[in-house]
Amino acid sequence: MPKGMHILLADDETAFRFSASIALRGAGYRVSVARNGREAFSRIVKARDAGDPVRVLVTDQQMPEMTGLELISLLREEGIRIPIVVVSAYADPPGVPGSQHGDIRELIEKPIEPGALVACLKRVSVSGAGRPA
């Protein structure tokens, strides 16, 4: 199996995906990217079926085709439980109650510096994200 924790980064902003993936790869993570929730769901299922499951999902809250919250709900419906970091352009994003989505480990506001995202992933990793779902 490849080295480094497998992270999936779902965000519709090309610049954010690019800078965040470079920072995460530089910190030793293996990063897959998706432009929206629908693509992210497909990548998560394919990775799981290939025996290389995504260990942490970093998702934007607002994306076209399928939002981050819709993605989270679909993952739950399919029985896929992984730690989730939600990024949002809103200081207090509507519809992200922690009790409703217990797998959300962190909620961070955009803009976020790549180094801060790496620090966030390290906190999530320490809380048990590296264990299989």
Residue 123 is predicted with a pLDDT of 84
Mean pLDDT over each residue of the chain, to the nearest integer:
84
Residue with the bigger pLDDT between 95 and 125: it is 125
Q: Is the domain covering 6-128 a CATH 3.40.50.2300 domain?
A: yes
In this prediction the pTM is: 0.84
R_g of the chain, CA atoms, integer Å: 13
> Nearest CA to 23 among 113, 128, 126?
113
